């Protein structure tokens, strides 16, 4: 007879699964230490690792920037950041953390390292000469080149890792130029190209749920699935980062990064094992099978008030919305469209992956094409919605739309925020949730047609709407699932 683990056994299992802290003395150099990305994402993540006991036992956090900021002022800055963007820290615990926080001002360039070398030398004197360095590039992409060259010029690549934020290149050519430079400084194994969507617990559920549950795994192919929708609408505008956004746009900010990676998580073939390199290889093998986007199957839009934002040119042709039909040329997915959509100032905010099933064989006719679906909610702890057609109560066999939601809070205890999880992976050397050079090259190859003269023209859409109407046409009459309520009926 099979026994059911009791609560104490489950608690022990959870304790056994907790990662061990890293023993190697480590200095995290946070370039752009007082910038927007650092304060919203990176600094709260590093402090969360500290409170969980998952930072190295001996560490230094060294902020770097052009300003002349004292160690004490940077420590207070982090305290203010945590109060605003995370939970207010325990004062006694934070005081211990702050003892490990330094700031190196004066910037960091080939010809002038500012005070960074002195602060690193101080850390080495205190922690030992074999301090591992993590170069975290929380800086605008246009600064990647100069900072990488400075790391090389000042001989800081040995026993080091480098974390690069997106976009890592803006085209196939600029990707190669940046990657060649990076590889002249670091080995590929030292480089971590971060994409926080891959760090989301709910995104990782896409393949774990599939591989562990036959209920889902057996329908995960072209025989059962009519189309896949990856839908990330946002109600936010871009006024707080207009300079970055107008130079980047929705395609580079979201499509070739987050949405391509999520599509690969859905479409990958079962890896040999769940070891980090096997999962990464499986994900990137399927990215190599992405068919280059056809401009005829891409819709670009811009919300009407975008050019009213300070710093945005009146004639800006930057897209704030993109919807695309992507094809994955593998046996499993031949003929199944992957529909990707994201945009700013839309009707709602959501992060959803919907597997829309083909109609069932049988006597029921005219059941709507979107009546049966498996929907993964990627926000927060995540949820899995199963959208069904069932019998409507009453004397006649009349079908009705129904759905059930499998909330995942019961397994959410101990979950880490995406940046927290990814930075821990950098510390421990786990590369499963990071994109390799080869994988990103494949993504840019699929994206390249959008950088030609064939790129679609921008269509204006009203603030708070669902974007250009042309995006609806990409669904072949199914409609974007988040917008349409299903009312099945017998024909």
pLDDT at 443 over 50: yes
| CA distance linking residue 432 with residue 439, whole number of Å | 12
What class does CATH assign to 197-416+438-483? alpha beta
Band of pLDDT at residue 408, cut at 50, 70 and 90: low
Q: Which of 119, 91, 94 is nearest to 106 (CA)?
A: 119
**Mean of the per-residue pLDDT values for the chain?**
89
pLDDT at 44 over 50: yes
pLDDT at 16 over 70: no
* Mean predicted confidence (pLDDT) in 322-350: 97
Give the per-residue pLDDT at 106.
95
pLDDT at 458 over 90: yes
Band of pLDDT at residue 3, cut at 50, 70 and 90: very low
> Per-domain residue ranges for the chain?
21-165, 197-416+438-483
Q: Which of 173, 115, 170 is nearest to 144 (CA)?
A: 170
- Asked if CATH classification 3.40.50.720 holds for the domain at 21-165, the reply, yes or no, is yes
Count of alpha carbons within 13 Å of 417, Cβ hemisphere only?
16
Least confident of 166-180, 246-260, 356-370: 356-370
Across 235-318, where does the E strand assignment appear? 298-303
Q: What is the DSSP string of 214-230?
A: HHHHTT-STTTEEEEEE
Give SS3 for 302. Answer: strand
Least confident of 10-19, 135-144, 460-469: 10-19
pLDDT tens per residue across span 185-244: 999 999 999 998 888 888 888 888 899 899 899 999 999 999 999 999 999 999 878 888
Q: Which residues are annotated as a binding site for NADP(+)?
A: 32-39, 66, 166
Helix (H) or strand (E) run with residue 96 in it = helix 91-98
pLDDT tens per residue across span 277-306: 899 999 999 999 999 999 999 999 999 999
Residues annotated as catalytic are: 258
| CA distance linking residue 339 with residue 288, whole number of Å | 18
Q: DSSP secondary-structure letter at 330?
A: S
Give the per-residue pLDDT at 18.
53
Buried b or exposed e, range 75-89, using 16+ CB within 10 angstroms = bebbbebbeeeeeeb
Q: What angle do CA 420, 425, 429 make, to 5 degrees?
A: 155
pLDDT at 402 over 80: no
Give SS3 for 321. Answer: strand
């Amino acid at each position: 007879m099979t026994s059911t683990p009791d609560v104490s056994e489950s608690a022990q299992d959870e304790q056994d699964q907790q990662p061990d802290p890293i023993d190697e003395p480590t200095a995290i150099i946070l370039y752009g230490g007082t910038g927007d990305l650092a304060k919203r994402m990176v600094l709260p993540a590093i402090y969360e690792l500290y409170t969980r006991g998952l930072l190295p036992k001996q560490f230094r956090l060294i902020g770097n920037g052009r300003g002349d900021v004292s160690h004490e002022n940077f420590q207070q800055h982090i305290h203010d950041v945590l109060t605003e963007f995370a939970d207010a820290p325990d004062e006694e615990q934070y005081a211990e953390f702050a003892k490990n926080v330094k700031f190196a001002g004066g910037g960091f360039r080939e010809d002038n390292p500012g005070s960074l070398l002195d602060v690193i030398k101080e850390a080495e004197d205190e922690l030992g000469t074999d301090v591992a360095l993590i170069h975290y590039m929380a800086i605008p992409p246009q600064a990647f080149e100069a900072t990488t060259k400075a790391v090389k010029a000042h001989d800081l690549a040995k026993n080091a890792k480098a974390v690069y934020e997106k976009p890592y290149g803006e085209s196939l050519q600029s990707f190669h130029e940046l990657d060649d430079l990076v590889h002249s400084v670091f080995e590929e194994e030292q480089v971590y190209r971060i994409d926080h969507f891959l760090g989301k617990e709910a995104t990782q559920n896409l393949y774990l749920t599939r591989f562990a549950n036959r209920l889902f795994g057996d329908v995960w192919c072209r025989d059962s699935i009519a189309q896949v929708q990856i839908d990330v609408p946002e109600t936010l505008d871009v006024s707080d980062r207009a300079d970055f956004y107008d130079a980047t746009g929705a395609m580079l900010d979201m499509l070739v990064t987050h949405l391509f990676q999520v599509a690969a998580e859905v479409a990958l073939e079962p890896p040999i094992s769940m070891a980090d390199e096997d999962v990464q290889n499986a994900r990137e093998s399927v990215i190599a099978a992405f068919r280059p986007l056809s401009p005829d199957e891409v819709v670009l839009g811009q919300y009407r008030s975008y050019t009213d934002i300070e710093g945005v040119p009146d004639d800006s042709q930057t897209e704030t919305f993109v919807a695309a039909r992507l094809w994955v040329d593998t046996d499993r997915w031949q003929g199944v469209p992957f529909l990707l959509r994201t945009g700013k100032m839309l009707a709602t905010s959501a992060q959803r992956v919907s597997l829309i099933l083909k109609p069932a064989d049988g006597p029921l006719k005219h059941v709507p094409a979107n009546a049966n679906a498996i929907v993964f909610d990627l926000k927060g702890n995540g949820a899995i919605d199963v959208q069904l057609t069932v019998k409507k109560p009453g004397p006649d066999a009349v079908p009705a739309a129904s759905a059930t939601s499998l909330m995942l809070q019961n397994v959410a205890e101990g979950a880490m925020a995406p940046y927290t999880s990814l930075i821990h992976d950098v510390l421990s050397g786990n590369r499963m949730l990071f994109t390799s050079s080869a994988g990103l090259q494949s993504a840019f190859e699929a994206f390249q047609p959008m950088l030609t003269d064939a790129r679609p023209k921008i269509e204006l859409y009203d603030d708070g709407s669902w974007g250009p109407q042309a995006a609806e046409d990409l669904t072949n009459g199914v409609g974007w699932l988040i917008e349409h309520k299903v009312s099945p009926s017998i024909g």
